[in-house]
Amino acid sequence: MIEFKNVVKQYPNGFRAVDNLNLLVHEGEICVLIGPSGCGKTTSMRMINRLIDISSGEILINGQPNTELPAEELRRQIGYAIQQIGLLPHMTISDNIAIVPRLLKWDEDRIRTRVDELLDLVGLDPDISRDKFPRQLSGGQQQRVGVARALGADPPIMLMDEPFGAVDPITREVLQAEFLQIQERVGKTIIFVTHDIDEAIKMGDRIAIMRDGHLVQYDTPDTILAHPNNRFVRDFVGTDRTLKRLGLIRIKNLMDASPPTCTLDSTVEEAKQCFVDYGAKSVFIVDKDDGTLKGWVDKEELKTNTSLLDAMYEAHWVDIAVRQDATAREALSAMVARGFRVTPVVDRHGKLVGTITLKALQDLVSYDPTSTATTEAVSNVG
């Protein structure tokens, strides 16, 4: 738990980089500090491990002021990862990761085990990477090592200053996803600085939006998107914040889990009965044995065809369905692209597990009275 209490950072020229900041970061949460350049987010983060001195106020870590320990000792207990990574080019990857454990005088066996464990954790093969030098790694691999190094001595708190900022967007998304998985396992208290609102929404348990050294809004991503405090936050999160909110929700929490289904060897009568039962316009056809989605059939087609196989639109599930672990935003995108009002949801083997309707997505976001523009847009697309 990290607590900022009336923290001020004032420079000799009178400029207040951080002005009376009060913030409580809960244990095991990712708190994203975000705001435009010069808003004091990095300064606030660097005051936690005293890379920058506090002018007044105090920062409590688990109830203790962070000035109690000598600065170096304090820093050894707090993981630190920055955008530029700062790997030591003259040391091997394992030596880089072992820096803090060595400072803490761990014995070498323990360090070796820890290094391998961390390399594994961040998705690098220890046998290949261990003795390499930073210059022999790609940017993404270096970022992974940077994260592994910050985790080196298993610190309860991590400070991360745009740790995925220096890689291409695709690698960044991969790293973000992997980091979230890691966080699920390690459960650190993390201060995460970024200027990318999408990253903040994706990574943060809570987001602290800062401006000119002040905290403007501190809340969960969903609340911030749904109820921006003021115009600044609304502008900052962007006019597409409804879409961003959709990005927070997984399809499996939203779908109708009992879709109208027939198997490939069903008769036309059975299918017709299915339309009646569900009151649906389309019925999905699955494989009888493993439930894999094979296509769908429209009500009109059944009138003219005597065989279900002749009536159905046959398609591979990849082309017509969305995965159940996709976000609502991805589902919306797929529906808009394909012109569907209803789209099937499958698991990763292609087994039909439910359906999602455009209406459901709309309902999800339309309770927000400030987001009418977005809702209209969604309706128009539909």
Q: Which stretches of the chain bind another protein, using CB under 8 A?
A: 49, 51, 71-77, 80-82, 84-92, 99-100, 103, 133-136, 149, 152, 159
What is the number of other CB atoms lying within 10 angstroms of the CB of residue 372?
11
Please say whether the beta carbons of 26 and 218 come within 8 A.
no
Reduced to 3 states, what is the DSSP secondary structure of residue 380? helix
Least Cβ distance, residue 78 to another protein (angstroms): 8
Residue listed under structure tokens 């087609």: 301
Least Cβ distance, residue 179 to another protein (angstroms): 18
Least Cβ distance, residue 185 to another protein (angstroms): 22
Token digits of residue 86: 């700062």
Residue listed under structure tokens 């399809």: 251
Of 92 and 305, the one with the shorter C-beta distance to another protein is 92
Distance CA 303, CA 1 (A): 65
Token digits of residue 41: 């987010």
Of 71 and 257, the one with the shorter C-beta distance to another protein is 71
Count helices and strands in the chain by DSSP H and E runs: 19, 17
Of 85 and 285, the one with the shorter C-beta distance to another protein is 85
> What are the Cα distances from residue 197, in Å, to 19, 63, 184, 250, 259?
22, 30, 21, 19, 36
Of 163 and 247, the one with the shorter C-beta distance to another protein is 163
Amino acid in the structure at residue 219: D
Q: Where are the alpha helices (DSSP H) in 122-219?
A: 126-129, 139-150, 169-186, 197-203
Of 164 and 340, the one with the shorter C-beta distance to another protein is 164
Least Cβ distance, residue 42 to another protein (angstroms): 11
Least Cβ distance, residue 188 to another protein (angstroms): 16
Token digits of residue 224: 């911030």
Please say whether the beta carbons of 324 and 343 come within 8 A.
no
Of 43 and 324, the one with the shorter C-beta distance to another protein is 43
Least Cβ distance, residue 98 to another protein (angstroms): 11
Least Cβ distance, residue 80 to another protein (angstroms): 3
Of 73 and 325, the one with the shorter C-beta distance to another protein is 73
Distance CA 84, CA 165 (A): 8
What is the number of other CB atoms lying within 10 angstroms of the CB of residue 278?
16
Of 87 and 200, the one with the shorter C-beta distance to another protein is 87
Please say whether the beta carbons of 368 and 226 come within 8 A.
yes
Nearest one of 258, 260, 253, 252 to 323, comparing CA atoms: 252
Least Cβ distance, residue 94 to another protein (angstroms): 12
Of 100 and 111, the one with the shorter C-beta distance to another protein is 100
103 burial type by CB count under 10 A (0-12 exposed, 13-18 middle, 19+ buried): middle
Least Cβ distance, residue 30 to another protein (angstroms): 18
